Amino acid sequence: MKKTVTIISVVVLLAIVSYFVFSPEKQPAMQGKAPVASNKGIAAEVYIVKDTTIQEYLDVLGSLVANEQVQIVSESAKRLVKVNFREGANVTKGQLLFKLDDADLQAQLKKLHAQRKLIASDEARTAALLKLEGVSKQEYERVAGSIESLDADIELIEVEINKTEIRAPFSGKTGIRKVSEGAFVTQNMPLVTLEDINLVKIEFAVPEKYANSLRLDQPIQFRVENSDTTYTGLVKVIEPFIDLNTRSLFVRAIASNTDKKLIPGSSATISLPLNEITDTKMVPAQALIPGLQGNNVLVVRNGKAQNAQVTIGLRTSSHVQITSGLQLGDTVMTTNILRAKPGIPVRAIFAKN
């Protein structure tokens, strides 16, 4: 009896479900929705092909170099008695950086001055006697010559004293000091590095085929590692010859670095403007569909997607040059490309070009 009641309940439930699903009153409502969605098609942003002027760029690798750089060394072998700057500090041209012991030189200079004073007195007396014909002219010239010799010795000692004062040859920033006060320094011993980084040089090589595209004061753009900033510079030096080994032309540009963010020695990616191309067609890079038979794009004609095979040329960071396959005014799909098939209706959304 319980089994019979259960079977009857299942049959009644199926009948109720069948009524709501297959009821004639429900079917028109369900059938009416599909055509509406089909008529609308898929939504896609589009790009209108138009005449465009583009700038051709050459991207090469280069390096940053300080505007001026020198390793400060000692010309004398003496004890270091004074360091007159802080490591990593900015110094001005002519500023005293290191002072070496010059006590022995000062003593020699004092002695020479004393000798000169005595000989100068002899020269004055000899000159007076010469006028009275009390001495020969030869004797006077001997005394006068002694003064000239002492003057030369004094000048030599003064030069040696000047070498004990090591000064900045130009304004710049000091590096890490290699010696401390009290150390004995020898000739040509590195003491510190000095760099002028208010300007930086960008050095790079350009392939031979682009040599005629370069000119002085030509602007460049470049980027360095670990920075999203794009910097600008000007070409200042172009080598007058092409390197026989690399078949490339060496170029140097200059860029401002007043904020000191550019570090000499860093690698740089340089973007060098070459030729300007006018009356060409460009499309967004995302519109391109690579394939085994070439590149394609989807164009919207009469409200439907159609396939168009294209030939591409130059690329920029966001667009691709189309050399054949599209006409001015064509509407190219840039989104929903994977969902679109040739012949499918498309609702075009005109995005900003």
Residue 212's CATH number: 2.40.30.170
For 211-239, write each residue's pLDDT tens digit: 888 999 999 999 998 888 999 999 999 99
Say which residue the tokens 């709501």 belong to. Answer: 20
pLDDT at 144: 75
Last residue of a domain, one of 236, 253, 276: 276
Residues 200, 271 share a domain: yes
Domain range enclosing 295: 42-53+278-350
Residues 268, 201 share a domain: yes
Residues 287, 259 share a domain: no
Nearest to 334 by CA among 348, 321, 345: 348
12 found inside a domain: no
Residues 6+ apart with CB under 8 A from 201: 64, 65, 66, 67, 252, 253, 254
Read off the pTM.
Answer: 0.62
CB contact at 8 A, 74 and 185:
yes
Q: 179: how many CB neighbours lie within 10 A of its CB?
A: 16
Residues 283, 218 share a domain: no
Last residue of a domain, one of 245, 276, 307: 276
CA–CA separation, 161 and 211 (whole Å):
51
Residues 215, 270 share a domain: yes
CATH number of the CATH domain containing 146: 1.10.287
Residues 266, 128 share a domain: no
Residues 206, 157 share a domain: no
Residues 267, 199 share a domain: yes
Could you say which residues of the chain have pLDDT below 70?
1-40, 130, 134-135, 140, 352-353
17 found inside a domain: no
What's the chain's length in residues?
A: 353
Nearest to 307 by CA among 279, 326, 324: 326
137 found inside a domain: yes
Say which DSSP state 188 is in: T
Burial 76-87 (b: 16+ CB within 10 A, else e): bebebeebebee
Residues 222, 256 share a domain: yes
For 61-116, write each residue's pLDDT tens digit: 999 999 999 999 999 999 999 999 999 999 999 999 999 999 999 999 999 999 88
pLDDT at 138: 74
Last residue of a domain, one of 229, 244, 276: 276
215 found inside a domain: yes
Strands 172-174, 184-185: pairing is unpaired
pLDDT at 14: 54
Residues 344, 295 share a domain: yes
282 found inside a domain: yes
Burial 317-334 (b: 16+ CB within 10 A, else e): eebbbbeebbeeebbbbb
Backbone angle region of 294, left / alpha / beta, with phi > 0 → left and psi within -120 to 50 → alpha: left
pLDDT at 34: 33
